[in-house]
Amino acid sequence: MSSTNETAAVLGEHEGTAPSTSSTDAKSLTRDPEHQPTEDDVDMEKVETGAKDPDIVDWDGDNDPENPLNWPRSKRLPVIIVVSFVAMLSPFASTMSASATPLIMKDFHSTNDTLGTFITSVYILGYAFGPLFWGPLSELYGRQHMYNASNVIFFIFNIACAVTNNIGGLVAFRFIAGVAASCPVTIATATVADLYPLEKRGRALSSVMLGPLFGPTIGPIAAGYLSEARGWRWAFWLLVILSGFAVVISFVFNRETYAYTILERRATRLRKETGNPNLRSKLATDKTPTEYFKMSMVRPMKMLLLSAPVFLMSFVMATVYGYSYLLLTTYPRVFGQQYGFSEKGIALTYLGSGVGTCLGLVFSGAVLDRIASTLKERNGGKHRPEFRLPAMLISSLLVPIGLFMYGWTAEKQVHWIVPIIGTGFLGAGMIIMFLPGITYLVDIYTVYAASVSAACTVLRSLVGALLPLAGPAMYDALGIGWGNSLLGFIAVACIPVPICFWIFGERIRSSASKRQF
């Protein structure tokens, strides 16, 4: 198409028709921060304002090939593979230090158990701060630049961890690496929302979330064997190698998926080609980048504190997430001291939760979209975000079962396979809870997918970082049995949350949508 024809098509001047968005979710990608965070409101805004403005740059019809929702599989798949790998590497690094901690503490002549736990926890603490920057920046400058920048920072500070000569430096470098690593965990769900319509989002999200949920399991196994064979620094050199690979494939294969950024680039190109300085993206905002960034930085916290769906779902997911990290710190105590496992044997016990996670992922990927589609048909073809929640009811039972089984069978020193099976229940429950929960929130706030993901990440990272610090004292006072029973009772108390949202979710969402984010 010539530049003149392309301009006419983009501006919606064919036969006097206004430009249209491409599918259900394209209309939800508006950037105006004053809009209500619902897809219907955004669509109405577009119809009632600016749709016939000849200076508005929009998609070239419903089948515009530049719209990520219309990309062919061959173009989407490399992006999903890169994002999945980077998102796996981030939590993989989070627990690598767990099994190497005894060697690290010995090398630095320290016997402080809390400090040893903090070497792992401080990385997760970085997850609590990074999303406040990565989410807004991705909505300002696009996803691709954020992936590339965070990968480079992660690579550099893993090198720093590998060569540091004092434990204070290791803690500081781990924190900065955690801030960088929080980027893919924060915006991966937004990338999925960019690429897939609602009816295919659950399965796509399952593939992307495999890494973040399975990574913490395989990290300690790799580090346990490598540290025992070559020393703890090689655990970090492995991260350097993997993160260097991530930098390369991200620069080569990753593409921009954010509709705002793509349309801004198109508007910039057309302004040069046509000489019309008034051309602007349909998703543009009148706010300056500084104003928008400041507003976007506080949006995740506003959503977390003022939106009942975001807070309660984030709290439930954060609880299970914190449990998984807390239990990781108990494996040396349980399987090393009580069962007499070697360092390599302890590392293999992490496979229990890993297998459970994989089974939960397969289950979630198979049923999440199917259940939602079936319920949508029964509801006269109208989708409700609550149609994502039935699977959460299963996870609400699996989590306390896993905690009680692991705690009491380990306390009574039943055969070692039984507590490992208990960790498998917890791993399955974690992912079956996480995927429906985050998909539910993205369905509600598709406009602010990165921000709602950031809100969830902040809370669960704080819990995941701080809860393990209390673990040694709790287990010393209560023992493994009653310590895990306490966690199990809290998990039982969370069971009514998805039930309440299933029954009253539409009313709660209606109230939440009145607030401006």
DSSP letter assigned to residue 56 = E
- Which of 26-35, 149-158, 372-381 ranks highest by mean pLDDT? 149-158
Q: In what helix (H) or strand (E) does residue 301 lie, and over which residues does it extend?
A: helix 289-306
The residue among 199 and 130 whose pLDDT is bigger is 130
Residue 296 has pLDDT above 60, yes or no: yes
Whole-number pLDDT of residue 212: 63
CA 162 to chain centre: 26
Residue bearing tokens 């924190």: 175
The string over 465-500, giving b where at least 16 C-beta atoms fall within 10 Å of a residue's C-beta and e elsewhere, is: bebbbebbebbeeeebbebbbebbeebeebbebbee
Residue 180 has pLDDT above 90, yes or no: yes
In this prediction, residues 160-186 reach a mean pLDDT of 91
From residue 395, give the alpha-carbon distance in Å to each of 340, 389, 454. Answer: 32, 10, 23
d(CA 216, CA 88): 9
- Looking at this protein, which amino acid is placed at residue 297? M
Whole-number pLDDT of residue 517: 61
Whole-number pLDDT of residue 156: 96
Whole-number pLDDT of residue 51: 46
- Which of 148-157, 259-268, 475-484 ranks highest by mean pLDDT? 148-157
d(CA 38, CA 35): 8
Query: Coil, strand, or helix at residue 228?
Result: helix
d(CA 440, CA 446): 10
Q: Which of 6-15, 69-78, 346-355 has the lowest mean pLDDT?
A: 6-15
Whole-number pLDDT of residue 41: 42
Whole-number pLDDT of residue 36: 37
| Mean pLDDT computed over every residue of the chain | 79
Residue 211 has pLDDT above 70, yes or no: no
> Is the distance from CB of 119 to CB of 108 less than 8 angstroms?
no
Whole-number pLDDT of residue 179: 92
Whole-number pLDDT of residue 422: 92
Whole-number pLDDT of residue 420: 92
Confidence band of 12 (pLDDT split at 50, 70, 90): very low
Whole-number pLDDT of residue 23: 38
Confirm whether pTM is higher than 0.85: no
Q: Which of 48-52, 87-91, 396-400 has the lowest mean pLDDT?
A: 48-52
Confidence band of 404 (pLDDT split at 50, 70, 90): very high
Q: What does DSSP say about strands 56-57 and 280-281: parallel, antiparallel, or unpaired? A: parallel
For residue range 98-121, what is the model confidence (pLDDT) as tens digits? 767 778 888 888 777 777 778 878
Whole-number pLDDT of residue 465: 75
In this prediction, residues 405-420 reach a mean pLDDT of 92
Residue 443 has pLDDT above 80, yes or no: yes
For residue range 361-375, what is the model confidence (pLDDT) as tens digits? 888 878 887 888 888
Query: Coil, strand, or helix at residue 281?
Result: strand
In this prediction, residues 270-299 reach a mean pLDDT of 80
Q: Give percent of the chain above pLDDT 90.
A: 17
CB atoms within 10 A of CB 302: 16
Confidence band of 403 (pLDDT split at 50, 70, 90): very high
Q: Which of 5-9, 64-68, 325-329, 339-343 has the lowest mean pLDDT?
A: 5-9
Hey, what's the torsion of the CAs at 380, 385, 387, 393, to 10 degrees?
A: -160
Q: Which CATH number fits domain 75-253+289-512: 3.40.50.1860, 3.20.20.70, 1.10.3210.10, 1.20.1250.20?
A: 1.20.1250.20
Confidence band of 213 (pLDDT split at 50, 70, 90): low
The first and second tokens of residue 43, run together, are 């669509």
**Environment class of 308 (CB within 10 Å of its CB; exposed 0-12, middle 13-18, buried 19+):** middle
In this prediction, residues 18-37 reach a mean pLDDT of 38
Cα four-point dihedral sign 227, 229, 230, 234: negative
Phi, psi of 259 (to 5 degrees): -60, -40
> Is the distance from CB of 322 to CB of 463 less than 8 angstroms?
yes
End-to-end CA distance of the chain: 39
The full set of domain ranges for the chain reads 3-23+33-60+258-281, 75-253+289-512
In this prediction, residues 123-142 reach a mean pLDDT of 84
